[in-house]
Amino acid sequence: MPAKKHSSLDKVLGRLDQLDHSDLQNLVQRLARERAMLEAVFDTLQDGVLVIDADGAIDYANDAASRLIGLQAGAAGATLWRLVPGLRASLDGGAGKRGRKDGGPPLVTREFELSYPQPRTVRLYMVPFEPRERAGQRYAVILSDITSEKKSTAEMIEHERTSSVLLLAAGVAHELGNPLNSLTIHLQLIERRLKKLRESKEARALEDSIRVCEEEVARLDGIIRNFLEAIRPRPPDFAEVNVVEVIEDVLRFHARELENRRLRVDGELPASTPLISADRNQLKQVFINLLKNAMEAMPAGGRLSIKVRADDESVFVALADTGAGIKTEDLSKLFSPYHTTKAGGHGLGLMIVQRIMRDHGGHVGIESKEGVGTVVTLQFPQKHRRVRLLKH
């Protein structure tokens, strides 16, 4: 490993017991100047910068962070969890505990809304570190005000939907080409065999051709469904829903595929989970998309853990896989349209998940470590809370 670099200040600090009163006074003044310079640098940043401990206590906040979360000047000992209600529960519902078990907490990214000191949408990025001079885990938290970005993005999406329909249609037409050709060939074979049908062996051959046609039709249906869901979303049809029942339905439907891939599912699915107000079919789409992502990320023998829990306000669902994980540079792009890291992927799955969660007044967060796996956390408001549709 390369040797650590030491500044002249480090050398001075290393022999404090040898300094006289005048040297100590000079050292204090020098430290004060350097601290003032560093604080001035951080206060010029537009993004908020926090340093917190494992309990959320704020050790440092620059000017931008103080403005974003309404932190009063000189408010020593303030707690991030108290200033941003619901954040700790959302983070705890994810990979925090699992991260400690496998070698340290993962990187965390979140988007959430603040109502104080004024309505804002904020993106949070949290990175763990262990400072040399202090014991215990610390976190560097970067807060970005993306309110205007969200507003302009919503306007751009509406414009882009129209302008990109032709491009999307071209892509879909290309995707449909191969299965349509296959359908045409096999339908021609069926027509010929029907004319010559005499013996039972011909009937068996006909069944094979029909089976191929059915598989291709199913594939076409999936492509078209994803296409239409992306460009023409439906408003939710809200009803009382038990999220555990929806998860169990999705797992039953995909049981054969999970078995074929040799993937194990462990679940903590309490029967007494509070009801939420949701569109059952859209909720199924959320879990189908996330389950498929997890299955494709894991090799044979992998494990998917699903945990459902609730507090007084929300229902949380955490899905943790043992797949390859997500690269740091890809983490912030996961919800972008058409961004995909999979060969043959359309990049719409997570975008659809995020849109459905927003339409349900919920939140989705992702934590990931390369080589360890990924945890997706969903947060739903309970039925007794008013669902506020977020524009997107």
List, for residues 270-296, the tens digit of each pLDDT value. 988 999 999 998 899 899 989 998 998
More reliable by pLDDT, 321 or 324: 321
- Percent of the chain at pLDDT above 90? 16
Q: Beta strand 303-310 with 264-268: parallel, antiparallel or unpaired?
A: parallel
Output the furthest CA–CA distance in the chain (Å, rounded).
Answer: 110
**What is the rounded average pLDDT of the residues 245-263?**
91
pLDDT band at 322 (very low <50, low <70, confident <90, very high): very high
Can you read off the two tokens belonging to residue 154? Answer: 């919503």
For the ranges 30-44, 102-116, 166-180, which has the lowest average pLDDT? 166-180
| CATH architecture entry for 239-381 | 2-Layer Sandwich (3.30)
Residues 60, 62, 63, 65, CA torsion sign: negative
* 296-303 LR contacts (CB < 8 Å, sep 24+): 296/342, 297/321, 297/323, 297/324, 297/373, 297/374, 298/261, 298/263, 298/322, 298/323, 299/323, 300/261, 300/262, 300/263, 301/262, 301/263, 301/264, 302/261, 302/263, 302/264, 303/263, 303/264, 303/265, 303/266
pTM above 0.85, yes or no: no
**Distances from the Cα of 137 to the Cα of 37, 108, 129, 148, angstroms:** 26, 15, 6, 34
Kindly list the domain boundaries of the chain, sorted by start residue. 45-145, 151-231, 239-381
Q: Say how far apart CA 298 and CA 300 lie, in whole Å.
A: 7
End-to-end CA distance of the chain: 48
Cβ-contact 240, 277 below 8 angstroms: yes
pLDDT band at 97 (very low <50, low <70, confident <90, very high): very low
- Percent of the chain at pLDDT above 70? 66
For domain 45-145, give its CATH number from 3.40.50.300, 3.40.50.1100, 3.20.20.150, 3.30.450.20. 3.30.450.20
Q: Is the pLDDT of residue 94 over 50?
A: no
Packing angle of the helix pair 280-297, 243-253 (nearest 10 deg)? 50
Look at residues 113, 63, 107, 106 and name the one whose alpha carbon lies nearest to residue 87.
113
Cβ-contact 87, 112 below 8 angstroms: yes
Q: Is the pLDDT of residue 1 over 70?
A: no
Cβ-contact 62, 49 below 8 angstroms: yes
Q: Is the pLDDT of residue 389 over 70?
A: no
Q: Nearest 5°: phi and psi at 86?
A: 90, -15
